[in-house]
Amino acid sequence: IAGITQAPTSQILAAGRRMTLRCTQDMRHNAMYWYRQDLGLGLRLIHYSNTAGTTGKGEVPDGYSVSRANTDDFPLTLASAVPSQTSVYFCASSDTGTSRQFFGPGTRLTVL
Amino acid sequence: GQNIDQPTEMTATEGAIVQINCTYQTSGFNGLFWYQQHAGEAPTFLSYNVLDGLEEKGRFSSFLSRSKGYSYLLLKELQMKDSASYLCAVRDSNYQLIWGAGTKLIIKP
């Protein structure tokens, strides 16, 4: 693994289903982030984690949950998917909360 | 509220110079970032400004005026591969990044 990986690359999901998007980084970065990117809008922060064992809510956290059991992994869970959660999801990491962020390749999620 | 404004789309000619502007209104300021994002790919870091003035890095330069809430990204000697979206982001008082919607730059031969 080099950098940040995300899985799956894309997914079509029925409304009401539970889904976990995976994110793993091998840079030993302390901070990790989940964003969604929608056409015509800027990246919007869903949840973040400044260090393993801690998480925080971003701008649009409703309907999403995260956990940070260790430094490398930061999964994002949609408990019961809705069509408005159709988006491209990017995971990012940074050495600290004040340094530049590195992005994973993204997951394209479609909720029908 | 917090707001980052950038033009939606710009067109320029290969070999020319283009300036992409970004104005911001945020709760606090702890630096401004520019990222490049090719279609279907992840954003990649271009530049960071925290003090007023111009930061030059090869063909790309970024300028910041904190008093005016204004930044620009200057791209020189444009190449076809520079066709991408350019994202402006400001780190606010909570050290979270607030992102603009991005400027799609189209390069014509």
pLDDT by residue (tens digit) across B15-64? 999 999 999 999 899 999 999 999 999 999 999 999 999 999 999 999 99
Bridge partners for B1 per DSSP: none
For chain B, say whether A102 makes contact (Cβ under 8 Å): yes
User: What SS3 state is found at B81?
Assistant: helix
List CB contacts (< 8 A) between B42 and chain A. 90, 103-106
For chain B, say whether A103 makes contact (Cβ under 8 Å): yes
Q: Which of B9, B1, B10, B5 is nearest to B89 (CA)?
A: B5
Going residue by residue through chain A, which has 112 residues, state the pLDDT in tens, using 9 for 90 and above. Answer: 579 999 999 999 999 999 999 999 999 999 999 999 998 888 999 999 999 999 999 999 999 999 999 999 999 999 999 999 999 999 999 988 678 999 999 999 999 9
Residue A98 to residues A31, A34, A63, B32, B91, Cα–Cα distance (Å): 9, 16, 27, 11, 8
Tell me whether residues B95 and A98 touch, CB distance under 8 A. Answer: yes
Q: What is the DSSP string of A47-111?
A: EEESSTT--EE-SS-TTEEE--SSSSB--EEESS--GGG-EEEEEEEESSTTSPPEE---EEEEE
